[in-house]
Amino acid sequence: MVAVSALVVEVVAWGPDVGGGAALLAVFAGLLAFAVRLYTAPTATSAPPVGRPRSRTIPQWVKIAVATRDGGKCRWCGSAYELQYDHVVPYSHGGSSDDVSNIQLLCGRCNRLKSNRYVG
Ligand SMILES: [Zn+2]
């Protein structure tokens, strides 16, 4: 990272002389693409190909998107009582926690009814 920082400092120092913003932007875009490649480069041992490790925890941004989409009500019966975030495809069956389409709002009663169907 020392090399990258030095490069950034150098580029910033040049900035106004080499055609201003566009050149600077192109260099930063290049650096960003490089960083993204480094971050997402697959390794021989990585099971999930990209991003964070698989987690049962539903991220905050997913909860906000789901609550907004479902209008703050149970998706099955429309109740606003005892609402819970539910995995459409259960986590234990390979369902994702950070895919908005796999999370829904259910009331406690509907969630318990659903859980009973997935026993076994
Ligand atoms: Zn319900």
CB 71 within 8 A of CB 78: no
The two tokens of residue 69 are 């989409």
Is residue 85 domain-resident?
yes
Structure tokens at 107: 């009331």
- Please tell me the distance between residue 106's alpha carbon and the centre of ligand 1 in angstroms: 5
pLDDT tens digits for the chain (120 residues)?
Answer: 555 555 444 444 544 454 566 665 666 566 566 555 555 555 444 344 456 688 999 999 999 999 999 999 999 999 999 999 999 999 999 999 999 999 999 999 999 999 877 665
| Ligand 1 center–CA 43 separation, angstroms | 43
66 is a domain residue: yes
Identify whether residues 33 and 73 lie together within a single domain: no
DSSP 91: G
**Which residues in the chain belong to E strands, given as ranges?**
83-87, 103-107
User: Model pTM?
Assistant: 0.56
Which CATH number belongs to the domain containing residue 90 in this structure? 1.10.30.50
User: 72 CA distance to ligand 1 centroid (A)?
Assistant: 11
Which range marks the domain in which residue 26 is found?
2-40
Q: How far is the CA of 49 from the centre of ligand 1 (A)?
A: 35
Q: How close is the Cα of 115 to the center of ligand 1, in Å?
A: 13
Q: What is the pLDDT of residue 116?
A: 77
Sign of the dihedral through C-alpha 87, 57, 59, 54: negative
> Which of 24, 26, 43 is closest to 34 using CA atoms?
26
Q: How far is the centre of ligand 1, averaged over its atoms, from the C-alpha of 59 (Å)?
A: 22
Query: Which residues have C-beta under 5 Å from ligand 1, the single-atom ion?
Result: 74, 76-77, 79, 107, 110
Please give the distance, rounded to the nearest whole angstrom, from the Cα atom of residue 61 to the centre of ligand 1.
23
